[in-house]
Structure 1
Amino acid sequence: MSIRSRSVSRIAVVALGMTLAAGSTLAVAQDISVESSNGGYAAAWSYGTNSKIGLADRKADGRPVKAEYNRRAHDTKKFTLWNKEGSGKRTYSGVGSKIWDARACVVINNWPDDCGRWWSDDHIVTGD
């Protein structure tokens, strides 16, 4: 094999490696971390593949907290994960398709719930 053909082969291998590396960085999932709007007394999160969501109650006020979210397989369906166990307790959803949007809320009876902004994998949604 000539020196020139070895150089071309090395360049091709390096180019292929760079292409694969660039493609793999695009596939990394974004972590989700959201809080309710008034002091962050409800917190929701999802990491890695975002196939399940966690929820914590951060204040001993007797109010339940919830995470509202949707999944890739059910684009327009809103799921709700409840945590009625009290302050310091965490709960988790089951595993499913990737979570696309999420927000955390403190439930306030007979009033609008105290919800943070929607997190989205492509943008922040500001409305309901």
Structure 2
Amino acid sequence: YFFSVQSSPILFYGVSGLTQFFFSGFNTAIYAIIPDCVEYGEWKTGLRNDGFQYAFISLGNKIGMALGTSLLALILGAAGYAANQQQNAAVLAVMKHSFTTIPGVLWVVTGIVLVFYRLNKKRYNEIVEEINVRKSGFSDEL
């Protein structure tokens, strides 16, 4: 947002690379949580629902992309976007914030939420062990 590839190419590409590095870590962490949630759900309810959780994540992504794209188009239209023309300052500001400030704020919010994620490796291993004990107990009764 504060500099461009034309004015500061080294800074632009350096910061872009750094942010993408952290973005990929965040994105990986979020998808790595799904199997943990499957185990946690089985531990809590006794039912394993892998398919539902993965489908729900996929549905959430699709709804988010549809709503986000629609909202962006609505805001750009309200700011005066016109195809194949020089854009006014309001449209350029919307474009810049849509790809810098807003995603940055949302990733900070995501990071804050992840701080409160309490399922660490130790707790996860305890849950998996308890599930295995339950399963072996059920098979002995049959």
Structure 1 or 2: more strand by fraction: 1
User: Does TM, scored on the shorter chain, surpass 0.5?
Assistant: no
Report the TM-score when normalising by structure 2.
Answer: 0.26
Structure 1 or 2: more helix by fraction: 2
Report the TM-score when normalising by structure 1.
Answer: 0.28
